[in-house]
Amino acid sequence: MTSTTIKIIKPHSERSFADDVADIWAHRELLMVLVRREISVRYRQAVIGLLWVVLQPLLTTAIFTTVFVVFVRIPTQEKSYPLFAFAGLAVWQYFNRVVTEGGGSLLANSALITKVSFPRLIIPLVSPLAAALDSLVAISALIVIAILVGASVSWTIVFTPVVIAAVGLFGYSIALWVAPLNAVYRDVGIALPSIMQVAMYMSPIVYPAELVPERIRWLYELNPIAVMVNTMRWVVLGTNAPPIAGLGLFLVLVVLLFWGGAQLFRRMEGNLIDRI
Amino acid sequence: MSKAIEVRGVSKEYFRGVHHRHTRFSELLTDWGRGLIGGKPRNNVARREVEPFWALKDVSFTIERGQVVGIIGRNGSGKSTLLKIIARITAPTTGEVILNGRTGTLLEVGTGFHPELSGRENVFLNGAILGMSRSEIARKFDEIVDFSGVEAFIDTPVKRFSSGMQTRLAFSVAAHLDPEVLIIDEVLAVGDAEFQKKCLGKMKDVTSTGRTVVFVSHSMTTVTSLCNQCVFLEHGEIRAHGPSHKIVDLYFSDGAGSGPALGFGKEAARPGNDIVQLCGARVVNSKLEGVETIRRDEIVGIEMTFEVLRDGHRLVPNFHLFLQDQYAFVSSPPDSNEVLGRGTYRSRMWIPPRFLNNGSFVVGVAVSSTAPVTIHFFEQDALRFHVIDDLFDASRNDYIQEFPGVVRPDLRWDVVQEK
């Protein structure tokens, strides 16, 4: 920071988006500190620490494998259902955490935002960044397991960070809507877990898209969550690429959600602490 | 001198009752729905009787660089709102504030402290939250830890700290914040007395280094000890802005039935009887100037003028002092055996310095006779004056909290070693 800075505090409606972006940049160090706090607190006092990042989707994969492969006997495109499910769950768990934690972040940090001034847009940005590490570890574990069980791993795995970033950005865009609304209307936070559960079962995370009737499958595959999950499977496991239309729609949706979310967030943040 | 803070026509509107048109999400949804089908939103506002009110109304003032300014006011006067706006926590409804220089705010000690993290990690976390850069914290780290006195536990999670230790560490970080403009809430009211003293000392250092400080407080003692200027807010507006002692006078005299002086112009209105009547009374300093607020180490005089209408009575003027309904003492001239003839008299009582405790004293003014006991007049709440203290006074022995009691005389003490 420079030694002479002039700051003008204006009514919130008079602030420009450029002001906010510059403000976030000026506070990048704080963002990193908050991300580091999130990461180091999460597995503090947990004996096996970061191993949980891998164990969680692994356990869930085991459950779904038992249910779908042993009991229900669903047909899968892949030879290995566990790899298929693990990839889906790793992506889903990251997305779910970004939306849920990001969406609850303003409320969870109300002690901070009522006492210290910094751009509020930073707050829901902490979860996507902190959880990205977990996500990267989980996907790396997936790759290792895939190699161990002899599945073919495509060169496209170099794109996994890009996919993780896209998932994080999508989650952040949604969190921008959820966080301020949730701070004022608690209904949002209460409804969110149910909505996320519906979204999970409406997407090919633990079961393959082939189970969906062919008539509506095209629609089903446009679902942005399906696109994210299938893209991850595509880059890591070399399964079928998601439809171009789905990718295009995903991009449009991210842009719209991000833009709209940023507008809403900025409109609400000015007087948020008076209403929280 | 250049301006450090410029507050220009700042107003802030709040809604009493509910905060917004929609408090429940369902209302928001149904109104959206109504909007979609072309209907009009239900008027939730009227139904709930929301009354907007202005917590701040067109507040403007300027703080010059290097000034130490106290913001005072009673509960609900808008001082917290003003602080939140200057600290950029909430936005003004209209108007603007210009901050010139690197600004640090301290509304709470230990904001963002995480119980699972070690003391060391929390120093960096809290420092970053308060706006320090990582290298700046690293540079001051030893100093911070040293000041806090918790070196031995610096790598222990702060959840294992006592609350006192947490506060010490947190304040140490805050105390090493080094901005050009510092905005502080009453964070001093934390920690044990010894540490409070340390903090106040640090505050005094900060205020004497030419930095601009804005300080919100309820404690007039703290304000007069630290600030040279005061902004007095009342009902969201500036009541007065100026040198601390003048503003504190005004603050104290506000709402009180009586002031530092009392005068009766017309004879008919005077308290008293056909023997003696009260003409006036006032509180004075050593130069015989009427005052309302006086430092504890100054002499204070209380005087009354009365007119004797009939000869031949032994009249004893007396003053009764009260501190918050506690009877402090009554005093009369020690040898008032003289019979006073007709005429106007002025009697003055001198209270030595360092005798009264600090606080707002109420004076009852009376003239009576002893044989037979007669009270000619007794004005109960005739005068009011304030004794203020210096927190850094040696007699406090570094104790910075309130002393109990109505008087606090300097007495002679002998402390000798017997064995």
CB contact (8 A) between residue B99 and residue A8:
yes
Question: How much is the average pLDDT of B211-221?
Answer: 82
Facing A117 at nearest CB: one of B87, B102, B116:
B87
CB contact (8 A) between residue B112 and residue A116:
yes
Q: Contact at 8 Å (CB) between A254 and A173?
A: yes
A115 closest CA partner among B7, B196, B184: B184
**Residue keyed to tokens 């499910």:** A85
Confidence of residue B114 (pLDDT cuts 50, 70, 90): confident
Q: B173: Cβ–Cβ under 8 A, 6 or more apart, which residues?
A: B110, B123, B126, B127, B130, B137, B144
- pLDDT at position A35: 92
Sign of CA dihedral B223, B225, B226, B228: positive
Structure tokens at B378: 């007794």
Q: Beta-carbon neighbour count of residue B344 at 10 Å? A: 10
Q: Are strands B343-351 and B300-308 parallel, antiparallel or unpaired?
A: antiparallel
- How far apart are alpha carbons B35 and B31 in whole angstroms? 6
Structure tokens at B380: 């109960």
B11 closest CA partner among B98, B82, B106, B89: B82
Q: Contact at 8 Å (CB) between B213 and B188?
A: no
- How far apart are alpha carbons B110 and B122 in whole angstroms? 9
Classify residue B98 by burial, with Cβ atoms within 10 Å: 0-12, 13-18, 19+: middle
CB contact (8 A) between residue B90 and residue A273:
yes
**Contacts A–B by Cβ distance under 8 A:** 119
| DSSP classification of residue B161 | S
Confidence of residue B355 (pLDDT cuts 50, 70, 90): very high
**Chain B from 372 to 411: CB within 8 A of any A CB:** none
- How far apart are alpha carbons B363 and B57 in whole angstroms? 37
Q: What is the pLDDT of residues B305-340, one digit of tens each?
A: 999 998 888 889 999 998 877 888 999 988 777 788
- How far apart are alpha carbons A224 and A203 in whole angstroms? 9
Write down the pTM of the prediction.
0.72
Consecutive H or E run containing B206: helix B193-207
The C-alpha torsion from A246 through A247 and A252 to A253, rounded to 10°, is 60
Structure tokens at A176: 């921008």
Q: What is the pLDDT of residues B71-107, one digit of tens each?
A: 988 777 888 889 889 988 888 889 999 988 888 888 8
Question: How much is the average pLDDT of B116-139?
Answer: 88
Structure tokens at B176: 């090493």
Q: What is the pLDDT of residues B177-207, one digit of tens each?
A: 878 888 888 765 555 666 667 777 777 777 7
Question: Is B124 an 8 Å CB contact of chain A?
Answer: yes
Task: State the DSSP string of B293-349.
Answer: EEETTS-EEEEEEEEE-SSSEE-EEEEEEEETTEEEEEE--TT--PEEPSEEEEEEE
- How far apart are alpha carbons B384 and B392 in whole angstroms? 25
**Residue keyed to tokens 């709040």:** B14
Residue A38 to chain B, least CA–CA distance (Å): 10
Looking at beta carbons, which residues of chain A come within 8 Å of B128?
Answer: 29-30, 33-34
Give the chain B residue whose CA is nearest to the CA of A116.
Answer: B89
Q: What is the ipTM of this complex?
A: 0.76
Q: What is the pLDDT of residues B201-211, one digit of tens each?
A: 777 777 777 78
Structure tokens at B164: 């006192």
Residue B294 to chain A, least CA–CA distance (Å): 36
Confidence of residue B256 (pLDDT cuts 50, 70, 90): low
Using only C-alpha atoms, chain A has a radius of gyration, in whole angstroms, of 20
CA B318 to centroid of chain Cα atoms: 32
Q: In what order do the strands lie in the sheet with B374-388?
A: B293-295, B374-388, B359-369, B316-323, B326-331
Facing A33 at nearest CB: one of B91, B107, B125:
B125
Question: Is B20 an 8 Å CB contact of chain A?
Answer: yes
A246 closest CA partner among A209, A192, A273, A196: A209
Task: For residue A95, give Cα distances in angstroms to A91, A172, A223, A228, B166.
Answer: 6, 9, 14, 9, 36
Q: Contact at 8 Å (CB) between B172 and B158?
A: no
Residue B27 to chain A, least CA–CA distance (Å): 10
Q: What is the pLDDT of residues B285-300, one digit of tens each?
A: 999 988 888 889 899 9
Residue A46 to chain B, least CA–CA distance (Å): 12
Task: State the DSSP string of A165-203.
Answer: HHHHHHHHHHHHHHHHHHHH-THHHHHHHHHHHHHHHTT
Helix A224-237 to helix A244-269 angle (10° resolution) is 120
Give the chain A residue whose CA is nearest to the CA of B4.
Answer: A6
Average pLDDT for runs of 10 along chain A of length 276: 59 74 86 89 73 84 84 68 89 94 90 84 92 90 87 84 95 94 87 93 86 85 90 87 89 94 86 73
- How far apart are alpha carbons A93 and A64 in whole angstroms? 14
Percent of chain B with pLDDT strictly greater than 70? 86
- How far apart are alpha carbons B387 and B364 in whole angstroms? 17
Q: Are strands B3-16 and B51-64 parallel, antiparallel or unpaired?
A: antiparallel
End-to-end CA distance of chain A: 30
Confidence of residue B17 (pLDDT cuts 50, 70, 90): low
For testing contact with chain B, the best of A182, A274, A275, A276 (most B CBs within 10 A): A274
Task: For residue B53, give Cα distances in angstroms to B11, B57, B83.
Answer: 10, 10, 18
Looking at beta carbons, which residues of chain B come within 8 Å of A268?
Answer: none
Task: For residue B324, give Cα distances in angstroms to B299, B352, B379.
Answer: 21, 20, 17
Question: Is B156 an 8 Å CB contact of chain A?
Answer: no
Residue B221 to chain A, least CA–CA distance (Å): 25
Residues in chain A: 276
The C-alpha torsion from B233 through B234 and B238 to B239, rounded to 10°, is -110
Give residue ranges of A with CB < 8 Å to any B CB. Answer: 1-12, 29-30, 33-34, 37, 40-41, 44-45, 111-118, 181, 184-185, 187-188, 270-271, 273-275
- pLDDT at position B287: 92
- How far apart are alpha carbons A46 and B40 in whole angstroms? 55
